[in-house]
Amino acid sequence: MSSIPIRPISGALLAAGAALWLTPAYPHAVCGDRVFPATLAIDDPGVLDELTLPTVSWVPNNSDGAHEWDASFSWTKTITPALSVVIGSGPTWEHPGSYGWNPLDTEIQYQLLCVPDAEFMMKIGFDVTWAGTGTGMFAASGRQNTYSPLVDAGLGFGTLPSSLKYLRPFAVTAEFSTSAPGYDWVNGTPYVTTFNWGFTLQYSLPYFSSHVAEIDNDFLKHLIPVAEFAFQTPIHNGGAAGQSQTGYFQPGVVYIADKWQVALEAMIPMTGATGHGAGVIGSLDFYLDDIPNRIDEPIFPHGFGIAPGI
Amino acid sequence: MRNLSWKIAVALAFVFAAAQAFAHAQLEKATPPVGGTVASASEIRLEFSEDVEPRFTGLTLTGPGGASVPLGAAKVESGDQKVLIVPIAKALAAGDYTVRWHAVSVDTHHTQGTFEFTVKP
């Protein structure tokens, strides 16, 4: 989810005015020459206007031994060019088991850094999963909020020398967060704090085609093969709650167009506690900042002067 | 559930009600070609995925040894605002050249990129 040039004297005023509204945004995750696509296991390192609708996943045997279907949406809205809020939720079906709507999830994100020449960007965020907003199988489990400070970063390899030009389309992104409940114990029930970490390795054919060597095939030059790794490691009360590390390896591909992208990945469990058998996950993502509409710009496009981008 | 689906559909229709062909201007094709080798070149021609604003779109060209190559005024192709044309002021000597371009699409999104081409002896 988000990064993002006049002359004669008669144009000077135009230039000054335009500079204010041409450059401040980080419209989807663009930093310098690099476009970071939205990925499925971890978040991208940008702040942007984006709608993910839907993300759908299926795993044959989850940690409870059940088939599981999940569907979710996520809407990210920029408040200022570098500050956004995210809202998301969605239902889960388990068989055998039941159905439920996941607790509401909200997040505030800040674009901390974009170094265009280095193709490096970073954002920080704070996520809250709200107690009492789940239904069905999630109604009883969410008795308290869960708080997750997080950091996302991405680095493109475009600065490699010409002799390594075929490696320039590579990029890595990473995410680190902790998810902590408001209380460790409630009525004798332990609540687990986890350390969540993951990374992706991407090879951008759009980057290859526009920076290294032109690709004639119109389909291929929009593909980004990606490998994602995402883990949740209990760091408090894991033993008391009988939880251990879970995680997935998710190889797949992203097709990136001008205003949307579609992603499809396999979900391969990396630990016994995660489940068994490969699942699949896919998503459709709209870059709202690229689609003229009534909500495509930051609410305060020039910020407040409090901090860069805010 | 059906009611919810209708609400989502109506919301999406609202969001995309005024959708037009605007987005980031990405480089689709270049002449001389990205990474290619040519016998000579008299202009740099960049084809973008979106219409670009010529007043805010341009490029620099550096040759062997990092020397800057003088260029003419950038302009968009008549009848096709997706194509930027920049004349090269003098004949290019053999060697490797680097194009650094920046573009602003008509909806004000900024993009940039770099590529190399070779003029053969």
Q: Is B76:B33 a contact under the CB 8 Å cutoff?
A: no
What is the rounded distance in angstroms from the CA atom of residue A257 to the CA atom of residue A265?
18
Between the alpha carbon of residue A242 and those of residues A59, A191, A237, A271, B82, the distances in Å are 22, 11, 8, 15, 59
Alpha-carbon span B53 to B110, nearest angstrom:
10
Query: Residue range A106-117: average pLDDT?
Result: 94
- Kind and range of the H or E element at A172? strand A170-181
> What is the torsion angle, in degrees rounded to the nearest 10, for the CA atoms of residue A132, residue A138, residue A140 and residue A141?
-90
Residue-level pLDDT at A291 = 64
Give which of B4, B10, B28 to mutate to test A binding, by max A Cβ within 10 Å.
B28
Contacts of A144 (CB under 8 A, 6+ apart): A131, A181, A182, A183, A186, A191
pTM, two decimals, is 0.83
Check CB contact of A307 with chain B, cutoff 8 Å. Answer: no
B86 within 8 A of B58, measured Cβ to Cβ:
yes
Chain position carrying tokens 């060019």: A81
Under the banding of pLDDT at 50, 70 and 90, the label for residue A22 is very low
- In the predicted model, is pLDDT for residue B47 greater than 80? yes
If pLDDT is split at 50, 70 and 90, which confidence band does B4 have?
low
Report pLDDT for A296.
60
Taking the CA atoms of residue B36, residue B40, residue B44 and residue B45 in that order, the dihedral angle to the nearest 10 degrees is -70
Mean pLDDT in chain A?
86
Confidence class of residue B9 from pLDDT cuts 50, 70 and 90? low
Q: Would you give the distance in Å from CA A65 to the centre of its chain?
A: 28
Question: Who has greater pLDDT, B109 or A15?
Answer: B109
pLDDT digits (tens, 9 = 90+) for B23-43: 688 899 999 999 999 999 999
Report pLDDT digits (tens) over A244-289. 999 999 999 999 988 889 999 999 999 999 999 999 999 999 988 7
Strand-strand pairing, A189-190 and B27-31: unpaired
Q: Model confidence over B54-109: pLDDT tens digits?
A: 889 999 999 998 899 999 999 999 999 999 999 999 899 999 999 999 999 877 78
Nearest CA in chain A to B1: A91
A33/B113 Cβ within 8 A: yes
pLDDT at A292: 59
Question: Taking 60 as the threshold, does the pLDDT of residue A216 lie above it?
Answer: yes
Contacts of B110 in chain A (CB under 8 A): 4-5, 22-23
Which residue of chain B comes nearest to A208, CA vs CA? B34
